[in-house]
């Protein structure tokens, strides 16, 4: 009976996550990007101002070392030289802690920072937080922030196998405007 209850709760959480991850977003293109001050895997603090005068791909993801999150991170890793050539930096954010990020970075040789938003405050500012009471998970949302610190594009529906290329294509278009 206990096992059945656990299965039902997990199914409810999964369905709830799917519906909540499609919920409205509080940040839209044209808005000033919300500030953040978060630690990376080594404890160094990162804030929005650190990325001023350059494009920033700020991507939120649910969990280190899970299939979709690994695919997305590795696509950003593999395309990083193209993104940097377009003047963009990549930063990932989840509610995982620094030690989880450090292992994820080491395991997949990720050359960009992963920031720990353990209380979910920054994800919430960006409308990228699913809060199920005791469990908080970042939604798979990405925000392309222009060099002036405004949101240039919001990605709420992400195909992890094509997402970095989608951003590269959008950056090429945005840089010609």
For residues 137 and 51, what is the distance between their CA atoms, to the nearest angstrom? 25
74 is an active site residue = no
Please say whether the dihedral angle defined by the alpha carbons of residues 91, 96, 98 and 102, taken in this order, is positive or negative: negative
If 0-12 CB within 10 Å is exposed, 13-18 middle and 19+ buried, where does residue 110 land? Answer: buried
From the candidates 33, 56, 58, 69, give the one annotated as an active-site residue. 69
Give the SS3 label for residue 55: strand
User: How does DSSP assign 121-167, residue by residue?
Assistant: HHHHHTT-EEEETTEEEE-S-EEEE-TTSBEEEEESS--TTTHHHHH
The tokens 């096992």 sit on which residue? 3
- Catalytic residues, by residue number, are 69
């Amino acid at each position: 009976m206990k096992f059945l209850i656990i299965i039902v709760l997990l199914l409810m959480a999964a369905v709830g996550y799917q519906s909540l991850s499609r919920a409205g977003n509080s940040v839209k293109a044209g808005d000033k990007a919300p500030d953040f001050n978060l630690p990376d895997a080594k404890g160094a603090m990162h804030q929005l101002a650190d990325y001023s005068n350059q494009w920033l791909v700020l991507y939120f993801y649910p969990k280190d070392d899970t299939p979709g999150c690994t695919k997305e991170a590795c696509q950003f890793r593999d395309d990083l030289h193209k993104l940097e050539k377009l003047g963009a930096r990549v930063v990932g954010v989840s509610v995982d802690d620094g030690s989880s990020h450090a292992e994820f970075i080491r395991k997949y040789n990720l050359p960009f920072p992963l920031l720990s938003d353990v209380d979910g405050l920054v994800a919430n500012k960006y409308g990228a937080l699913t809060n199920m009471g005791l469990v908080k998970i970042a939604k798979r949302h990405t925000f392309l922030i222009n060099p002036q610190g405004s949101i240039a594009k919001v990605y709420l529906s992400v195909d992890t196998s094509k997402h970095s290329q989608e951003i590269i294509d959008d950056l090429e278009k945005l840089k010609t405007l």
